[in-house]
Structure 1
Amino acid sequence: MGLYKYVTVGTAKRILKGSIKFTQPGAFNDPFELLPQFFVAADTIEHTRNLSFCVLSPRRSGLDRGHIPGDEKDRSDFQARNIVSTLNQTVGILCLSRNAESLLMWAHYAGEYSGALIEFDENHEFFNGLNPVKYQKRRPVFNLSDFYDRVVPISDLCVKSNAWAYEKEVRLVRATKDLQLAGEGDGKYPVMTMGLPLECIKSVYIGERMKVEDQKDIWKLVKNTNISLSLAAVANWDYSFRYDQIKFSGSLLGSPMITPRTAHIFKDEPGEFGEVARWLIRNHEMSVFVNKTC
């Protein structure tokens, strides 16, 4: 399975310039993020203990007690809210996906199809510590004592409702001390980033609705790399996209793939590339049809 991220065009350009954002848990769009319930001991002194977390370790198994009958008054998310508050100051999370064909994620995270889908090489050392999100029907319930006196994997808390299962999300967590402050953000959380080696990126898929000028910018960022590049178009036969290849992975040994769909990216280029692109735009019988906006 591949490793992907749906992004706006601005984010795509920043990633292709070698920088990627890590987000604080409190800035996510799901208010239940990292927010399980806990069975808590009657002794309130226990609740004052400090908890330690690891950003790399995989999820521990067998912790969820949500299926065990118990009195609701013994369950609380008070400690979970304190944990999230702490993690907002100490970690950033990079959210990725195993799903390369999600129309919903194209709409929600990629600027309503005007952004891009980026494929990464998960075997690169940059992605050490990658962990999948767990999806389930019931909100998890943990014993708080299972989090005392040990270093707890943050992945233990990465459990979401089945409503989000289509995202097939995987996460990379990093300590803020290993990130760079890139701006003030919205005032609530600063923008934290990490340098991204371009060899981490395998492919870029340009969205159906990306503006031509932005497509040209993406091409310029990709053409001298080993990254492959394709342009999406609404398929004629299903709720899906077809992709016109512009550049294959590896060095660009010849010309890019110029088709009626991709010609407008190259029509202002000098020399043979531009001549071929302009001829296709003027003369190919499918040129107008395949570039109609959807």
Structure 2
Amino acid sequence: MSQTHDKHHFYKYMSVETALKVIANQSLRWSSPLKFNDPFDHQIGFTFEFGGQEIGQAVYHEMERIVFGGKSEFQEPSLFTEVALRLQGIADRLPKDAIMEDFAEAAQEIADNFPYHVARLHDEIQEQLTHSRVLCISERNDNVVMWSHYAEEHRGVVLKLRCIDKLDNTLLAARRVDYSRQFPKFPSLGQYVRHLTGEKPLNLAALTWDMAFTKHSDWAYEKEWRVHMPLLNEPPGDGYTLINEHPSVFGAVYLGCRMTDEDRGRILEAVEKHIPHAQAFQAKRSDASFDIAFEEV
């Protein structure tokens, strides 16, 4: 697996009980997007800057141009391509008005069915994206809000996870999450028409994939990265999958500033037993600002 970024490590927030399992087994829990706390995550669609009538008219004029306007090249053969090429060859002998009337009917059918096709596209996108497992990680280990949300209100743990090229570990494939207040925009009207005609097909798979890494801008404080793993033909299961990592991936353990002495002892004992190479740090509240600092244990 080739590294897709220049990061050396990431961080994972978790509870004490989860941390004990992770440390003991050196495995990380990948989750189904349906388990996420954000109802939009992996469950959004495109915004279109055109409607059914616009796409119908655009296809109508493009069909006229292709058949009666000269040679066109098609990158992806289709039924449309076969019809267009056949009509091109006899265009000078065709009654144009009758052909354009047929084109108008076809274009109107496209316009009428456009809302249905958009709804179906979005259903397929969400079904595909949510049939997956995702490992969510962060650039930061000192975010006060994330300690509250994901690490038992500062009683839990943050693990430092190393990206190690020679191990070919999964973190090498992590991708940064993009934050926005709007859903992703679908390509332009002209691009979509050339996709439908086969002249210049769109990479809809890549556009769909981008949605797995797009969240509302309110989440930007998390500075999240992700590794996304489609399940392909596997059943969804219970929504979680444990994937083992090499022990050296676990580089450090950070203990919450409100962690109990008992839990602190349990975590440090587990570190010493299972990942003794890992450093351990105790979180402390700053005396001068709303920040967290760490002291090595």
TM-score range, shorter chain: 0.5 to 0.7
Aligned partners of 1:151, 1:97: CA distance in 2, in Å? Answer: 23
Counterpart for residue 102 of structure 2: none
Counterpart for residue 158 of structure 1: 213
RMSD over aligned Cα atoms: 3.2
Aligned partners of 2:119, 2:253: CA distance in 1, in Å? Answer: 40
Give 1:20-31 correspondences, 5 Å limit.
20-31=28-39
Change (3 A) 1:11 1:77: farther
Identity of aligned residues (%): 23
- Number of aligned positions between the proteins: 210
Q: Provide, for residues 58-98 of structure 1, a one-character-per-residue CA deviation record: whole Å limited to 9, x for no partner.
A: xxxxxxxxxxxxxxx97956533432223333x20000001
Counterpart for residue 182 of structure 2: 138
**One of 113, 118, 126 as aligned partner of 1:84:** 126
**TM-fit CA distance, 1:170:** 0.3
**TM-fit CA distance, 1:22:** 0.6
Change (3 A) 1:157 1:147: farther
Q: Does the residue aligned with 1:3 lie in a helix, a strand or coil?
A: strand
Change (3 A) 1:114 1:77: farther
**TM-fit CA distance, 1:133:** 0.4
Asked if structure 1 preserves the Cα contact closer than 8 Å seen for 2:148 and 2:154, the reply is yes
Q: Provide, for residues 158-178 of structure 1, a one-character-per-residue CA deviation record: whole Å limited to 9, x for no partner.
A: 111211111110001224479
Counterpart for residue 227 of structure 2: 172
Counterpart for residue 101 of structure 2: none
Matched, 1:235 2:235: no
Counterpart for residue 9 of structure 1: 16
Give 1:70-81 correspondences, 5 Å limit.
79-81=121-123
Aligned partners of 2:262, 2:229: CA distance in 1, in Å? Answer: 34
Give 1:186-201 correspondences, 5 Å limit.
189-201=238-250
Give 1:92-103 correspondences, 5 Å limit.
92-103=133-144
**TM-fit CA distance, 1:220:** 1.2
Find the structure with the greater CA-based Rg. 2
Gaps (5+ residues) in structure 2?
1-6, 56-113, 196-201
Gaps (5+ residues) in structure 1?
44-72, 247-294
> Normalising by the residue count of structure 2, what TM-score does the alignment of the two structures yield?
0.61
Aligned partners of 1:24, 1:4: CA distance in 2, in Å? Answer: 19
Change (3 A) 1:179 1:113: farther
Aligned partners of 2:215, 2:162: CA distance in 1, in Å? Answer: 25
Aligned partners of 2:127, 2:209: CA distance in 1, in Å? Answer: 13
Asked if structure 1 preserves the Cα contact closer than 8 Å seen for 2:282 and 2:294, the reply is yes
Matched, 1:36 2:85: no
Aligned partners of 2:262, 2:255: CA distance in 1, in Å? Answer: 12
Asked if structure 2 preserves the Cα contact closer than 8 Å seen for 1:24 and 1:87, the reply is no
Q: Provide, for residues 241-277 of structure 1, a one-character-per-residue CA deviation record: whole Å limited to 9, x for no partner.
A: 232311xxxxxxxxxxxxxxxxxxxxxxxxxxxxxxx
Change (3 A) 1:29 1:80: farther
By relative contact order (CA 8 Å, sep 6+), the higher-ranking structure is 2
Aligned partners of 2:248, 2:233: CA distance in 1, in Å? Answer: 20
Q: Which moved more, 1:78-87 or 1:97-106?
A: 78-87
Q: Does the residue aligned with 2:179 lie in a helix, a strand or coil?
A: strand
Change (3 A) 1:19 1:152: same
**TM-fit CA distance, 1:153:** 6.9
Aligned partners of 1:179, 1:210: CA distance in 2, in Å? Answer: 39
**TM-fit CA distance, 1:157:** 3.5
Asked if structure 2 preserves the Cα contact closer than 8 Å seen for 1:107 and 1:113, the reply is yes
Change (3 A) 1:218 1:176: farther
> Normalising by the residue count of structure 1, what TM-score does the alignment of the two structures yield?
0.62
Asked if structure 2 preserves the Cα contact closer than 8 Å seen for 1:119 and 1:203, the reply is yes
Give, as a single letter, the amino acid of the residue that structure 1 aligns with 2:229: R
Q: Does the residue aligned with 1:238 lie in a helix, a strand or coil?
A: coil
